[in-house]
Chains A and B, each alone.
Chain A
């Protein structure tokens, strides 16, 4: 899935792993921007960055850097 146009020489592009798949983004990008781009804004989610929980209150302050590993989760049916 491509979220941004093909990286070109005029952009600084970073690679971030999201739920195990590598995505490329224009830098700088906050976690709030990312959530917006992914149309997850209205969903109840939780996010882990490099093994640490990022509280929702910090989504606008934290900016993604090259090599970040994110996990974004939702609640699903389970026993």
Chain B
């Protein structure tokens, strides 16, 4: 598998599992899970600093140094193109000009379903400003193609709603997206357990991004390692090419001759 890299915006990654850093109980748990996942690309959020509170409080970037990981700042929590663009401009400044970002513009706070109209608008602005945009979107193949045409470097459709753990609800749409799009397709959101990640990879997705499935597990580091194995297994199965499904087979696995009488 070493010569099967994931290439995003010209950069090569060995791991096809991308992980978020939210919802952990502390930085130690975050670090243990990220390390167990083997992920090289990890998402972070951009938030207002707590002015005057705990000046000595450790920072996430001390625990997960930008020199060791490809940090992917996201726009989670943004409901408009403007807010998403402002957030990523701040992120680029924060990370010394780093331009690889995750764009996500949400439609409503209950479902966290993406607002694709605002997403497309933000993507146009960000690409124009030189950002390399990995974009979270619905599993609509037409929108996915439009986002690629705008210049996004990876299309990241949901498998099911953020934080739902419902798994791959519409594998057919994911296949339609992969048929239409040349850039990497990374399932983002909805994975609940290892088999979901394996299914995404068996379908031919180029990677999987998850946060809650690991962070909300009883043992996050153990689930992170399960996800690492599942993504690798699913990828290997995809490359190997599965046997066709048949209702039954008249070809048993053992020889049909030489049976004792």
Interface residues of A (CB under 8 A from B): 1, 3, 18-21, 38-40, 42-48, 51, 53, 55-56, 71-79
Contact = CB atoms under 8 A, between A and B. Distances in A.
A73 B59 CA distance: 12
A77 B94 contact: no
A19 B52 CA distance: 12
Name, among A42, A47, A76, the residue most crowded by chain B CB atoms within 10 Å (CB to CB). Answer: A76
Interface of B: 20-24, 30, 43-49, 51-52, 55, 59-61, 71, 73-74, 76, 86-87, 89-91, 93-95, 162, 210-212, 215
Contacts of A20: 48
Contacts of B210: 79
Given A73-B46, A74-B49, A77-B30, A40 B94 contact: no
Contacts of B30: 77
Of the listed residues A40, A44, A77, the one surrounded by the most CB atoms of chain B closer than 10 A to its CB is A77
A31 to B, nearest CB: 13
Contact of B51 (A44, A72, A76): A72
A71 B87 CA distance: 10
User: How would you classify the secondary structure of chain B's contact residues: helix, strand, loop or mixed?
Assistant: mixed
A75 B20 contact: no
Contact of B90 (A3, A71, A77): A71
Given A46-B93, A74-B49, 9 more contacts: A1-B51, A19-B51, A46-B90, A53-B93, A71-B48, A75-B44, A75-B95, A77-B22, A78-B47
Contact of B52 (A39, A77, A79): A39
A76 B94 contact: no
Contacts of A79: 20-23, 43, 45, 74, 76, 162, 210-212, 215
Which of B60, B90, B215 gathers most chain A CB within 10 Å? Answer: B90
A56 B48 CA distance: 17
Contact of B59 (A3, A44, A48): A44
A53 B45 contact: no
A42 B61 CA distance: 12
Given A39-B52, A43-B59, A77 B93 contact: no
B51 A75 contact: no
Contacts of B49: 19, 40, 43, 45, 72-74
A62 B180 CA distance: 49
Contacts of B43: 78-79
Contacts of A19: 48-49, 51
